[in-house]
Amino acid sequence: MKIVVVGSLNMDYILQVPHIPKEGETILSTETDTSLGGKGLNQAVAAARSGAEVAIIGAIGEDEDGKIMKELLVKEGIDHEGLDEQPGPSGKAYISIDAKGQNTIIVSPGANFRLTEGWVDEHRKVLEDAEYCIMQMEVQLPVIYSTLRLCREMGVKVIFNPAPVNAAFDRSYLGFVDYLVVNETELILLSGGEEDPEKAISKLLAEGVRNIIYTMGSDGSRFCSRELDIRIPVYKVKAVDTTAAGDTFIGAFASQFDGSNHTEAMTYASRAAALAVTREGAIGSIPRKEEVDRMA
């Protein structure tokens, strides 16, 4: 199965903190580290480590971080023909992780926001024969819109993770999404502030989204469509760092989903995400297929 990821690549700067600081509060970190990340890169690596053929379309800077990102893609066997090397810095994320493994993330887009719709169109051949295109919201909205249109034109199914949610997103493009993957916060924001999950899901389905994958943290996950409502329980583990859990879930799901094995693919993705939260970092926490299979 071929999967193309259109999205972000970042260098993560990770701060271990006793608690997430409140407004106006200054605290000291207990440990500092760096790790490769970015939603696009995380999802691409997750899919590749679960056995999929993966290509990425994105942008990196002509800096040391960009070189390290490119080296990782080569190591993971991810096609990087669609990678644009831009003058200036690569994307960066500043992540605070508390003693319970919960986090806050601030992203400096860097080269990610210099990716253009023209570049994606010029590299449309990367999308040929792809089963899925995975997208997020760490690139500019015009790139998202043009890629959604291109995928529709080429018959490529879209898995869209609207994170971070951008209030300026044109909701008419929801009709171009085959699989919308949201957590609780994203579901509320994308549904216009509807806090009742059932009403929010119904609203999005009515707006043209074909399928919704709702990740609920410790409450598990759901696959919802007009015909289906499948619930998958969470795997109980001791969480160390939740940074790449959602991205791991998405990449793992895409790698296993054949369009009809909803329960199996969701269960596999849940196992992969559970393994990821037991480890620190983003890329370093993403498991390989043999590890996930051992949890079965």
243 marked as binding residue: yes
Instruction: In whole angstroms, give the CA distance from residue 144 to residue 163.
Output: 12
115 with 255: CB under 8 angstroms? no
User: Residue 22 carries which DSSP code?
Assistant: P
- Is 281 annotated among the ligand-binding residues? yes
Asked if residue 155 lies in contact with residue 129, where contact means CB atoms within 8 angstroms, the answer is: no
- The annotation status of 218 as a binding-site residue, yes or no, is yes
103-108 and 91-97 beta bridge pairing: antiparallel
Beta 211-215 vs 179-182: how paired, if at all? parallel
Judge whether 88 is annotated as a binding position: no
**Strand stretches in 173-246, DSSP E:** 179-182, 211-215, 221-224, 229-232
Q: Is 242 annotated as a binding residue?
A: no
Q: Which uninterrupted H or E stretch holds 50?
A: none
Q: What is the C-alpha to C-alpha distance for residues 29 and 11, in angstroms, rounded to an integer?
A: 18
Stated as kind and residue range, the H or E segment containing 123 is none
Q: How far apart are CA 172 and CA 131, in angstroms?
A: 23
Q: Which residues are catalytic?
A: 247
Residue 215, annotated as binding a ligand: yes
12 annotated ligand binder: yes
241 has binding-site annotation? yes
Q: Binding residue per annotation — 166?
A: no
Cis peptide before 197 (omega within 30 of 0): no
Q: How many CB atoms lie within 10 A of CB 199?
A: 11
Q: Is 220 annotated as a binding residue?
A: yes
Q: Was 285 annotated as part of a binding site?
A: yes
Task: Please tell me whether 248 is known to bind a ligand.
Answer: no
Binding-site residue set: 10-12, 38-42, 138, 183, 215-220, 241, 243, 246-247, 276, 279, 281, 285
Binding-site residue set for substrate: 10-12, 38-42, 138, 247
Binding-site residue set for K(+): 241, 243, 276, 279, 281, 285
Binding-site residue set for ATP: 183, 215-220, 246-247
